Amino acid sequence: MNFCDLPEYEGDTVWVTASYSGIEEYWGLNGRGCDNLSVELGYRNWFELGDELDSLFSKVHDEYYMYNLKLEVKGVFEKGNYGHLGSNNGLFSVIEFGKVELKRIRLK
């Protein structure tokens, strides 16, 4: 499904593809063409990600200026103010991670 359509499926379990990026305490999911939608990525136990996913999230957090993650995730969206100072206008609670790719940021 298209990331921009998430608010229409609030409370439903859906698969979505999004980019995960940020800086310092401002992190979120974003989609191409969705300038007004930034979503907090929620996962009930970050300590149980497994080595491969843990390594990818660590890499993007450590080198946020060079990388982001392309995520295919299954979960549930809810509207609201989430993240640092409510900077994200929704929460996507992950049930399952699908494909996760480390992407180098293209400089313009």
pLDDT values of the chain reduced to their tens digit, one per residue, 108 residues:
899 999 999 999 999 999 999 999 899 999 999 988 999 999 877 768 889 999 999 999 999 999 999 999 999 999 999 988 878 999 999 999 999 999 999 876
Estimate to the nearest angstrom the gap between the alpha carbon of 13 and the chain centroid. 15
CA count, 13 A, side-chain hemisphere, 50: 5
pLDDT at 16: 97
Does the pTM surpass 0.75? The reply is yes
Using CA atoms, how far apart are residues 100 and 26, in angstroms rounded to an integer?
20
pLDDT of residue 6: 96
Can you give the pLDDT at residue 108?
65
Both tokens of residue 86?
């409510």
Burial of 69 (0-12, 13-18, 19+ CB in 10 A): buried
CATH 2.40.50 fits 3-104, yes or no: yes
> Could you state, in order of their start, the residue ranges of all structural domains in the chain?
3-104
Q: What is the C-alpha to C-alpha distance for residues 103 and 94, in angstroms, rounded to an integer?
A: 20
**Amino acid at site 9:** Y
Q: Say how far apart CA 97 and CA 108 lie, in whole Å.
A: 30
